[in-house]
Structure 1
Amino acid sequence: MPADLAVIGLGHLGLPLAQAAVAAGIATIGYDPARATDLAAGRLPGDGAEGSLTAADIRRMLSGGFRPTGDPVELGRVRTAVICAPAPLGADRSLDLAQLTDATRALAARLRPHTTVIIETPVAPGTTEGVLRPLLEDGSGLRAGRDFHLAYSPARLDPGSRTHAYATTPKVIGGLTPACTESAAAFYGRLCDKVVRARGPREAETVQLLETNYRHVNIALVNEMAVLCHDLGVDLWDVIRCAETKPFGFQAFRPGPGVGGHGVPQDLSGPPLAVRPLRMVELAQQVNHHMPQYVIQRAATLLNEHGKSARGARVLLLGITYKPDVPDLEGTPAQEIATRLMQLGAAVSYHDPHIASWNVLGHPVPRADSLYEAAADADLTILLQQHRTYDLQGLSVKAQLLLDTRGATPTGAAHRL
């Protein structure tokens, strides 16, 4: 059955796009051989890649006509194809494009003239034209900009947000030609209130780069301030509270135990570009990568000050997802923190209303059923993520010792990062 749209890659980028398209009345298929069977049955695949969507969301999409499929033949029957395959950061600090290029080849083999192809996967500037365009042209025998439209659009998602909906978040479009841009803009205009036209694909790709790096650099700055303020005996959280009253030239960021999520920083010093590195981004990565170790240092110091050793201590990790109220463990600093605690000999357990089971070092971590009882029993409770369901006032009363890495507890109720 023909469809208006194919979303290729049904993970944290593709599913929200498909959800918005179905809600807008667009006949949508989703292509993902690894996840289609579960999604077609109204189940979450269990790998956490769906971001903030729930099984109920998937079932509503299915009832609205959404069709997940693992059959690539379906890709030849759509007017618009949006590629949302993941491109994680590899060991050499460059993006691993294997899943993206596989998805592109699958589409190319069935690409029809006049189709609009849009890339949403975060990639380095020049990837759409230099890597993906040749794959599409060689696999289809068609020419981009003449026989089919090609454009890039940076994904802008705020998982779990009640403020920034898909429709109200402006969409940036950069096409290979002006006609490519307009074709992509016409598609996104059915989903979003505002479309912003970039000069071309490279500019649109670099928008993604700037937005992601902006987040990481500013988090690194405030993470360094957290360490400095602790050493000086200054209340950082009060500093931020006062600073954010400035109506110009300042945007408040808050420290934490590390930086997770799918948006990985890029300094462009690795392949395929290997250009002049963005030194500030490189330094920001070093600062942010150190934060889990800093949390461990603070935890060990607190235990020692209360006459206890990390070895044999009962430590409860509270909130292990990378973002509040989102069942996503991608890049969560909780993984490294738990690992380091276990290596010190601590007995680690966790509580998270969004995560039913969790493995660290190849072993399941005990999950606390009763938050208050677990906090009262633990020698140290570490708040890693502030979920809405947590009563932090009550928790601060029940916990023997509480380290708050998010500055979410009432002043004086816990030891803050």
Structure 2
Amino acid sequence: MPADLAVIGLGHHGLPLAQAATAAGVGTIGYDTDPRPVAELAAGRPPVDGSLTAAEIRRMLAAGFRPVTGPAELGRVRTAVVCAPTPPGPDGSLDLTAVTDAARALAARLRPHTTVLLESPVPPGTTEGPFRALLEAGSGLRAGRDFHLAYSPGRLDPGSRTHGFAGTPRVIGGLTPACTESAAAFYGRLTDKVVRARGPREAETVKLLETNFRHVNIALVNEMAVLCNELGVDLWDVIRCAETKPFGFQAFRPGPGVGGHGVPVDTVGAHRPLRLVELAGQVNERMPQYVVQRSATLLNEHGKSARGARVLLLGVTYKPDLADRQGSPADEIARRLMDLGAAVSYHDPYVPDWRVRDLPVPRADSLYEAAAHADLTILLQHHRTYDLQGLSVKAQLLLDTRGATPAGAAHRL
């Protein structure tokens, strides 16, 4: 089947897009410069982050999806969507290297009348600035005249059973009105609702706002967790009551840290910093240290020292019921516990192997036996498979950083 769509970048954004397009009957190729994920997908094996199952990959392949490493394929499609990763660089700003590489690869093969879409998180102004310049310089074509160019922020809730691709509205901002409509026509085949932004900068800033909204609100409730512990107040009961307010409040819950692929952006180029976002980042970055402090205090209150203590960490992924460990606070918590002299082990049904400081962390095979043997068990991620009532009975000492255990069954964050 000839391909209508090229998804450039087969990571946590690109692969679900390719899945949705293939399911909608769009002939799709997935392009990635890394041959490893391409080979794994071509063989029908799922990605390591667990975002798609082997059965889902096989259905995509059966429907005509083709993962490729050859850039020549990019010149044969009508729509190209760049989903390259933009991880934080050493200074905290987004690293656009993969996006610029994707733009160059596409530009060399770009044909007139192609619709080019950028989904990667980028600073406002990127689409109509450096991204557009690379496409035009490499192709000799002009955006808005010879090909369509637009930005659409990636919106995914990995592992969600309620917010699927089709049911999540897509925001689109095109370089020209015609660019916007071309992008809307494409996404309209995949989603139930398309929202038109005024332009690319507005669409890019939607992603900035949505990501920072999450981090700022998590920071607020994380600070409340520390305060409530000092006051002897049950924060989880406070949240339960507060979320009954039908207006002006949205419930967020504290945790051991903030994981995930969306990183807060507290400064954009030469523009003034977002001070609230900067402060929120500092609050959230302190949470792993706070969890370790609470752990040491609990051990001390029960006549034990952190040095030599057996500590079991439950759930080391960033989100429940997924294998994705991107940004998980478990790594820093394990390192800090090791620095105190604790003997750290872990249990996670989705993570068969885990290394900290390039050393393997012992994995518990039997959850209940490991909890009974450990001086302290810390719930970092609440997977559905965990029977927390039974665990609270077996564990010598249980610290619940997710508020998931029954009231009174564990020490809560």
TM-score band w.r.t. shorter chain: over 0.9
Q: Following the alignment from structure 1 to structure 2, what is the Cα–Cα distance between the partners of residues 121 and 182? A: 20
Distance in 1, matches of 2:404 and 2:47, equals: 32
Equivalent runs, 1:326-341 vs 2, <5 Å:
326-341=322-337
Within 5 Å, give how 1:405-416 maps onto structure 2. 405-416=401-412
Structure 2 matches for 1:17-28, cutoff 5 A? 17-28=17-28
CA distance in 2, matches of 1:388, 1:100: 36
Distance in 2 between residues matched to 1:83 and 1:168, nearest whole Å: 21
Query: What are the superposed Cα offsets for residues 260-281 of structure 1, whole Å, 9 maximum, x if unpaired?
Result: 0000000125xxx121110000
The CA distance in 2 between the partners of 1:321 and 1:404, in whole Å, is: 15
Task: Flag structure 1 segments of 5+ consecutive residues without an equivalent.
Answer: none
Give secondary structure in 1 for the equivalent of 2:286: helix
Give the SS at the match of 1:3.
coil
Give the Cα–Cα distance (whole angstroms) in 2 for the partners of residues 209 and 375 of structure 1.
41
Q: Which amino acid aligns with 1:231?
A: E
Q: Partner residue of 2:42?
A: 40
Match of 1:62 in 2: 61
Specify the alignment match of 2:116 in structure 1.
117
Partners of 1:101 and 1:66 in 2: CA distance = 25
Q: How does 1:93-242 map to 2 (within 5 A)?
A: 93-242=92-241
Distance 1:289 1:368 in 2: 28
Match of 1:345 among 341, 349, 357: 341
List aligned pairs for 1:380-399, cutoff 5 A. Answer: 380-399=376-395
CA offset at residue 54 of structure 1? 2.1
1 CA distance for matches of 2:393 and 2:103? 54
Structure 1 CA distance, aligned partners of 2:53 and 2:99? 25
**1:262 match:** 261
CA offset at residue 130 of structure 1? 1.2
Question: How much identity, in percent, do the aligned residues show?
Answer: 81
2:304 pairs, out of 282, 301, 308, with: 308
Unaligned runs of at least 5 residues, structure 2: none
1:371-396 CA distances to partner (integer Å, 9 max, x unpaired)? 11111111100000011111111110
Does the aligned pair in 2 maintain the 1:124–1:268 contact within 8 Å? no
Match of 1:82 in 2: 81
Question: Do the aligned residues in 2 keep the contact of 1:316 with 1:349 (CA within 8 Å)?
Answer: yes
Render the CA deviation track for 1:27-49: whole Å, top value 9, x for unaligned: 00000131211111112354x3x
Kindly provide the CA deviation profile for residues 41-80 of structure 1, in whole angstroms up to 9, marking residues without a partner as x: 112354x3xx521222212211111100000000000010
Worse overlay, 21-30 or 35-44: 35-44
Compute the displacement of 1:115 (Å). 0.4
TM-score when scaled to structure 2? 0.98
**How big is the shift at 1:93?**
1.2
What amino acid is aligned across from residue 255 of structure 1 in structure 2? P
Tell me the residue number matched to 1:282: 278
Q: Secondary structure at the match of 2:132?
A: helix
Number of paired residues? 411
| Aligned AA (2:40) | D
Query: Is 2:315 the partner of 1:319?
Result: yes
